Structure 1
């Protein structure tokens, strides 16, 4: 991953600097119009104040659900419910158990404040999230249009965050992520939900004792069990908010998208969501779970030994230990090479050993699907909308969209390792080197990482899944110099929470377009309609949609020779029954 980032407050400073520069260069004729513009601002301010007074006078929303009565808050004309419990807190004896649905509560529960993020180690890139994290974290945040009620049936969009399954938060707002605020998306007449799930050692520790006490004879996929429980809770309760339990769209980013892809092949999640949107993650490009249950249990036993509680009763002792002590003992597995550590385990219940094979053979959920990536997804050093990426953008002439490829850079040892780890066939590896060493490849390390970890898997998944259900592929290519559209960059457009330099008219237009496509999809299972540019379904020619700086552009054919080579390695990998190593 990346080192500690932590650049605080720069968006406001950059905005003020640009504002001062702009005002300094205003033509003299504008000065004569200040009285008019000031008058308009005064009228707008008075209208806003009046609206706020009306909203303040409105009583807080109260909803009676099968789980209990909730009192939320009115925010910007929406009913918002934060910190809604969907599972028993996974603490004490519930640590390292599958999610248990939260029991109904008595009285009225305040749902005003978001719950803490799930407990996670501080890796630097997640510092502001880690310092406020807690094991008591299994809660939902729900945004509901003001007019919605139990008699309505609005589509539901459930978002699962990224973070490599070792970090992240349902509320975002970290060194890398924008705030995951569903308000703007909910204005498209949809119910928006963000959900937490366990990560790291508390989400993916396996151990023989845990397997023995499990009803499905496996252990280690507690984060996936949380996602299943959140979806199950919504099936039972979302109608009370005005949501349609028969139109639930699961949306994920990065690890969240990969996890949804795993659940699309899992019997545990059947019927809990009806279409899916995968941003920058899927079961082809991330590779199948490369740890089987026996190997994961052996590692869990090693962790117990490190904690001095090897043997019978070790899990009971570990459940009584504070999180920091557990974190200190949980180290990289010797056979683990991917970024996502720890990782979902191939237990046959929540995660299949070769989910990509299930998708290729048409054995995943036959549901409408949108899958895609950003154009520079593989740039892990500058990912996100904040931190080092934000600092580099602020220091550059960042008002200029990045056109075309990044500047040419040689393939480094790290880039060669990416290719060598993935292309296990020597002949294919040689062909890959030739492709990425050819003129015009741009930043070769980022190109190789993006293709292998994100783009080519999305292309393959879209092609395979289109044989069983309608499928659409996208690439978010709009970004600013000198970075382009890096990993996580598209999240600010999904939620409409823009940070400079991505706060210009073209960016707001892209927010509207992307949100309208996604809302159409949540309503009907098809993103097209409402006057938007047509988005062709995925096919063998690489059809899709590109979110470019000038707006959405349909792509009817894309050669992508790197992805054709990727397909050959994936085919060999799946036939051999071995997981491909990526990242």
Structure 2
């Protein structure tokens, strides 16, 4: 941003602050005049909140499966007192701890929410991308409330983006419609549109568009990696937080690669199963019915390597140093798979059978595998295998690759448990760090294991909010009164969150990263095997050693 642009932004900010203090002609609320239009929010919990702001328009009905369009200009002040509807999805299991009990869904759902300090000026901006396997979730979930960050001087933004088949379908007809000859990645394009909105408008809310952190957990963290790799997203953010990311193989648009069918071929298959002869027929289907029925066909939402929005596989782009050169904070949870047991294969009947399976599948790497995941406790070894192959390996790979290109990386493992979760066998389960990191331990979703209202839990949350907000502010996580968090470049250091934060300078899970990196490298070289959760006793035979692999 030029000097004159900054001067103009400062003048606009001063006018907006004065306007906000003055209210809206006695109508109540908090008024901000942004380039997108006037927005009236509310004062709550000592901060100002603006909810449900349209950042783009999702093409719907007979125009669905197109990039997001500009949001319609509203007249007067937009009432930002309530969350917008979640993007269309199907709540398959309402008893799940992850069920979010969202009340309203719509195909037209591209909105964002902002929490800000009352007198924010040039404040850092933290953009939260929700998880949910790219097929569920919403920005308005109580656990994603941004008040705790705003109280620490950080503007918190949460966004909706198209999900499932409505957000990620690729199909030859859709590619033919596109000027770039591509399809899929619509949900990712929504995220990019949200970041572009932030660049244009966040200054009016007192935010610094040159200090934006993108952050997410699970599929939100996968989205963070996609954005780091996506050429159209370059320059829209300055730091990244990836909680429980998974850098698994991604389908290509037109070719079967790494054992995964082409994304367009998947689109043809799904259309056939839904008895839709063409895209026009799919566009005529009701959005909810289409979403629900697509899941029954086995459709799973992924990004697509199309050469435009995603140039190549994530592992390849990060290996070549083509990702955004931004500082990153990345980590995973010790009990990731305890709440995701559907990812586990059937266990062998005993230790001897387990060892035999591993030796048959991992060849010369079997000894290293069995040292890391011994047969003594098959269940724990299988939980750790899938955890590490997806989340542990990815977290360490991210901080390693950012370090290699001169951007600092900060690594963590979350091993914190509490009575209700432990009693359910869910110690440090997938996503359990979120309410601690976002300062929402009192706002967990309805089926979440109850977090006790104790000093111990509040202190853990205070520490994590401190680390996360300071990272958003200056790229270095720190929390007053808690241990220093050294970068990974300093002797492979990491932060261990258990009973209390503990900075450690010894290698995290020695041998873990090297084992799974070698497996990925050989599968990539072979070209016909995905690297996902097909590991351990579910692994295909290990390909031979390849050039470039250890």
Distance 1:460 1:199 in 2: 27
- Name the residue aligned to 1:364: 323
- Name the residue aligned to 1:290: 251
Q: Secondary structure of 2:337's partner?
A: coil
Task: Give how far 1:521 is off.
Answer: 1.0
The answer on whether the counterparts of 1:262 and 1:352 sit within 8 Å (CA) in structure 2 is: no
- Name the residue aligned to 1:478: 416
Distance 2:172 2:272 in 1: 13
The answer on whether the counterparts of 1:81 and 1:111 sit within 8 Å (CA) in structure 2 is: yes
Question: What is the aligned counterpart of 2:134 among 165, 178, 183?
Answer: 165
Distance 2:39 2:357 in 1: 54
Q: Secondary structure of 1:98's partner?
A: coil
Question: What is the aligned counterpart of 2:385 among 445, 448, 451?
Answer: 448
- Name the residue aligned to 1:516: 466
Report the TM-score when normalising by structure 1: 0.76
Task: Give how far 1:275 is off.
Answer: 0.5
Task: Tell whether 2:306 aligns with 1:355.
Answer: no
Moved more, 479-488 or 504-513: 479-488
The answer on whether the counterparts of 1:155 and 1:247 sit within 8 Å (CA) in structure 2 is: yes
Distance 1:490 1:358 in 2: 28
Q: Secondary structure of 1:519's partner?
A: helix
The answer on whether the counterparts of 1:354 and 1:577 sit within 8 Å (CA) in structure 2 is: no
- Name the residue aligned to 1:581: 532
Q: Secondary structure of 1:373's partner?
A: strand
The answer on whether the counterparts of 2:88 and 2:291 sit within 8 Å (CA) in structure 1 is: no
Q: Secondary structure of 2:456's partner?
A: helix
The answer on whether the counterparts of 1:292 and 1:353 sit within 8 Å (CA) in structure 2 is: no
Question: What is the aligned counterpart of 2:224 among 247, 252, 260?
Answer: 260
Q: Secondary structure of 2:215's partner?
A: strand
Report the TM-score when normalising by structure 2: 0.81
Task: Tell whether 2:92 aligns with 1:123.
Answer: yes
Question: What is the aligned counterpart of 1:548 among 495, 498, 503?
Answer: 498
Q: 1:239 to 1:332 in 2, by over 3 A?
A: same
The answer on whether the counterparts of 1:155 and 1:244 sit within 8 Å (CA) in structure 2 is: yes
The answer on whether the counterparts of 1:96 and 1:205 sit within 8 Å (CA) in structure 2 is: yes
The answer on whether the counterparts of 1:69 and 1:109 sit within 8 Å (CA) in structure 2 is: yes
Task: Tell whether 2:181 aligns with 1:217.
Answer: yes
Q: Secondary structure of 2:310's partner?
A: coil
**Deviations, residues 239-287 of structure 1 (Å, cap 9, x unaligned):** 000000000000010001011101111101000111000000142xxx1
Q: Which runs of 4+ in 1 moved over 6 A?
A: 413-417
Distance 2:362 2:69 in 1: 45
Q: 1:424 to 1:277 in 2, by over 3 A?
A: farther
Distance 2:350 2:465 in 1: 36
**Deviations, residues 469-498 of structure 1 (Å, cap 9, x unaligned):** 111101111112343111010011122222
Task: Give how far 1:424 is off.
Answer: 6.7
Q: 1:360 to 1:540 in 2, by over 3 A?
A: farther
RMSD: 2.9
Task: Give how far 1:506 is off.
Answer: 1.4
Task: Give how far 1:130 is off.
Answer: 6.4
Moved more, 321-330 or 234-243: 321-330
Q: 1:73 to 1:331 in 2, by over 3 A?
A: closer
Q: 1:577 to 1:424 in 2, by over 3 A?
A: farther
The answer on whether the counterparts of 1:160 and 1:194 sit within 8 Å (CA) in structure 2 is: yes
Task: Tell whether 2:153 aligns with 1:189.
Answer: yes
The answer on whether the counterparts of 1:546 and 1:553 sit within 8 Å (CA) in structure 2 is: yes
Distance 1:121 1:130 in 2: 11
- Name the residue aligned to 1:38: none
